[in-house]
Structure 1
Amino acid sequence: MQDLPGQEEASRRPAQDPIRPTDDTARTLARELVRSARHGALATLSGDGHPFASLTSLATDSDGTPLILVSALSGHTGNLKADPRASLLIARHGKGDPLAHPRITVRVRARRIERESAEGQRIRRRFLARQPKAQLYVDFPDFSFFALPIEGASLNGGFGRAYELTPADILSDLGPAQALVAAEEGAVAHMNEDHADAVRLYATALLGAPDGAWRVTGLDPDGLDLALGDQVLRLPFEAPVDEPSALRAALVALAAKARAAA
């Protein structure tokens, strides 16, 4: 059978690479998806080699590393202990075709967290700030925290917008920001107790959210995490901050911007 006109020429053309060059827009979207997620689909490897996907609640550590709290009775917990390799799918939901909305698949290697360590205490605080209902079972002896350090990611920002990302594209650099990490708990409490009006304006005037008693659940060099009930938002800073004084200046500037917008 002869080729149709133009078919032979088309077969010689190199296939178009669907992966776009990573840019700041892709990095911002990836960080927002990971930082603002409250749940995701975790795929682990079962004993027979089959992928095992399950729904899990999520929070993030200070640098953006995903965190989970899981029971020893869950299938994915045993899988992670046997083989720490896993993938985490995080998707933004909305009207219309679900494939038109952004999502990211993160390749991770799970690590169990020691509860009584300083890291464990920080992770417990950050997780409960994002998932307050977990307070009911967080201290059950069969529950454990796992960090999911990122080894790579595939981002789909919608039709025709695919990217391959490195950990550095998604995570915050905490190297110069140790003082900020140490001050986070006090700064979050201060904002919620003494500057609730500014927090509300951050959400409503800067992010277009409905009015309500918004609160800060966490902060890091790149932005603030806000919550109102089950709604969560991410407010990025205009430039990274690495110490408490720079954080204070950034928050004051954001409050002034929000008041002007309101």
Structure 2
Amino acid sequence: MSTNALRPARELLLKEYRGVLSTHSKSMPGYPFGSVVPYCLDAEGHPLILISRIAQHTHNLHKDPKCSLLVGERDAEDVQAVGRLTVMAEAHKLTDEAAIEAAAERYYRYFPEAANYHKAHDFDFWVLQPVRHRYIGGFGAIHWLDQVTLANTFAGKAEASMIEHMNSDHANAIAHYVELSDLPRTPAAHMVGIDSEGMHLRIGQAVYWLPFPSTCNTPTQVREALVLLARADNWPSATHVEG
């Protein structure tokens, strides 16, 4: 297993927010069934999805929870020359009320429109518990990885507090992050997530992940990174220690 591949594999999972969910077909035994799903990462760093009870992939998961999520770099001109990650996993439907509430609070920040059809229809949150990962970083860069995901140090009140503070009091700083990263400048960006390695911004219907210059393990380090970036003339190169 290559430790050099862990960082780019994890970044890919952090920044794409959509993938192809492959399940074992219930109606066509022996055949894989692929469907596109949006996702964000939960507090443990595992893909969190919201799917309809009547959807084919949901019926498939109830029969066999083994699945995979294929994530590839968006807008790639040559899909074989860029990174892609297959997360082999077991899907678990959330049934505990506290877990569902935490999942909803996180998921709706990333995908606020989902709150409407979740309430109007029979949708449930599922977590994909990774078993193994297959990462391809381009031609010849192929790796089996056992541990890619990292738990979010700030998940819960700390993350929610930082996000609220940034959106309420530092809209200009967020606009500067967008400018530095050459992301769309309209509509205005809103921060929707923070992890130890970066921030998540929602611009219109799209979500983008931007890396911190270095890993942040405390709220103080996050604040220092956000201040540094707010004053920067260009986005600093990231230097991280693998964990």
5 Å-filtered alignment, 1:172-251, equals 172-174=150-152, 177=153, 181-205=156-180, 207-212=181-186, 213-251=188-226
Return the alpha-carbon distance in structure 1 between the equivalents of residues 120 and 11 of structure 2.
Answer: 31
Q: Which residue of 2 aligns with 1:89?
A: 70
Superposed CA deviations along residues 224-253 of structure 1, whole A, max 9, x for unmatched, are 111211332212223332332232222222
> Quick one: structure 1 residues 71 and 22, their matched pair in 2 at CA, closer, same or farther if it must change by over 3 Å?
same
User: Do structure 1's residue 155 and structure 2's residue 155 form an aligned pair?
Assistant: no
**Cα RMSD, aligned residues only:** 2.1
**CA pair 81-95 structure 1, distance change in 2 beyond 3 A:** closer
TM-score, normalised with respect to structure 2:
0.86
Opposite residue 92 of structure 1, the aligned amino acid is E
Counterparts of 2:46 and 2:32, CA distance in 1:
22
Q: Which runs of 5+ in 2 are unaligned?
A: 236-243
Whole-angstrom CA distance in 1 between matches of 2:64 and 2:35 = 16
> How much identity, in percent, do the aligned residues show?
33
Distance in 1 separating the partners of 2:122 and 2:42: 22
Quote the offset at 1:222 in angstroms: 1.9
Secondary structure, in 3 states, of the residue corresponding to 2:80?
helix
SS of equivalent residue, structure 2 residue 163: helix
Query: Residue 130 and residue 115 in structure 1: after superposition, are their counterparts in 2 closer, same or farther (change >3 A)?
Result: farther
Which residue of 2 is the match for residue 171 of structure 1? 149
Amino acid aligned to 2:197: D
Residue number in structure 2 paired with 1:114: 95
2: CA distance, partners of 1:43 / 1:95:
21
Question: How far off is 1:70 after superposition?
Answer: 0.7
Q: Does 2:241 correspond to 1:261?
A: no
CA distance in 1, matches of 2:15, 2:134: 17
Q: Is the 8 A contact 2:94 2:127 kept in 1?
A: yes
Is the radius of gyration larger for structure 1 or structure 2? Answer: 1
Return closer, same or farther for 1:97/1:239 CA change in 2, 3 Å cut-off.
closer
AA aligned opposite 1:148: L
Q: Distance in 2 between matches of 1:115 and 1:190?
A: 29
Higher helix share: 1
Q: 2:8 aligns with which of 15, 29, 34?
A: 29
The answer to whether the Cα contact below 8 Å between 1:154 and 1:163 also exists between their aligned partners in 2 is yes
Aligned partners of 2:85 and 2:136 also within 8 Å: yes
Residue 141 of structure 1: how far off its partner (Å):
5.4
Task: Structure 1: state its 5+ residue gaps.
Answer: 1-20
Which residue of the partner structure matches residue 100 of structure 1?
81
TM-score (norm 1): 0.80
Q: Higher mean Cα deviation, 225-234 or 235-244?
A: 235-244
Is contact 1:59-1:66 (8 Å) kept? yes
What is the total number of aligned residue pairs between the two structures?
232
